[in-house]
Structures are given as C-alpha cells and as structure tokens.
Amino acid sequence: MLKHHPNLTAVVVDIANVCDAGREIAAQTMVTERISYHVANFLQDELPTGFDMVLECDVGVYTEELFRKVRNCLNPVGRVVIVDWLAQPGREPSLERRMDAFLSSLRTPGFATATAAEVQDLLVRVGFHHISQKTIEYSTRVHEESTVVILAHK
C-alpha cells in the first residue's frame, strides 16, 4: 500500500521479533522511512491511537476485547480491515489449515477457527458498522485456498 500511496505512513504493532523482521524487509524497499514500529502484544498491551485504518492480517484470534482495543485506536471515521483465512460453512479447510487449527487447540483448549459471520458479529457488538466482506480465491501447488477480507467502519 505504501508503494502505491506516497503520502501514506504505517505503524507496525506486533511483538519484537515481528517488528525486527519487518525492519529487515522494509530496509530493502523505498518506503522504509514511512514505516515505524511499536513493539506490543496487541492481546495484552495498550495500543497506540490516532489511526485512520487498522489492518489485521492473519491474526487468527478474534474477541470482543481485541476489537474494542482496535476501535479505540481509530480516529472517529476510522476503519478496520481484516485479512485472514476464516472457516467457511460447507467448505473443507486445507491440510495446512487443519494442522494450524490442531496446533492452536493444543495451546488453547477449545480453540476453533472463526467464521466470517462470527467475526462480523463481534465487530457489530463493539460498535462497528457498514461491514462488507469479500472472499479471494487462489490456488497453490497443493490445494485450493481462500482468504476473507472484511471491512468495517467505526
């Protein structure tokens, strides 16, 4: 997004090793000076505020508490964009997704991959509106896959 929008800046909020990896990757680009990093565990720590948009990509954990924190990060007309693999009723997940879910259930008993409807319901409960969803289909060498993109306004 930074490559296509020269006035855009970004703040990466994640744990230290993700921020470090992001710095290394960004150092190889022309946009590195427009990215800053804020080390935090977004499930436990206070988060920075004043954002027009929050992008959550492959977070996998969705709760009312997290979405309240995200909503508080946003400016009055801010929006959240979620890009993740979400369970789809009637559709069998790939072996990789089943393995991810299995490993997650070992760390967190009772873990279940959220559906797009569940994520949207959580967003509504914490005060987001104008929620839209798009599914992006793609193929890998091994299997068919899809990612769900959800956009919600404050």
> Can you give the pLDDT at residue 94?
66
The model's pLDDT over 51-77, given as tens digits with 9 standing for 90+, comes to: 999 999 888 788 999 999 999 999 999
Q: Answer whether residue 47 is part of any domain.
A: no
Q: Distance of alpha carbon 20 from its chain centroid, rounded?
A: 18
The mean pLDDT of 94-123, rounded to a whole number, is: 78
At 86 the pLDDT is 80
Look up the domain containing 6 and give its range: 1-39
Domain shared by 125 and 94, yes or no: yes
Residue 122 within a domain: yes
Q: Counting Cβ atoms within 10 Å, is residue 149 exposed (0-12), middle (13-18) or buried (19+)?
A: middle
Q: Do residue 57 and residue 1 come from a single domain?
A: no
Per-residue pLDDT, 60? 79
The pLDDT mean for the chain works out to 86
Alpha carbons 39 and 47: distance in angstroms, whole number: 9
Whole-number pLDDT of residue 149: 82
Count of domains forming the chain? 2
* Together in a domain, 57 and 107: yes
Q: What is the pLDDT of residue 12?
A: 95
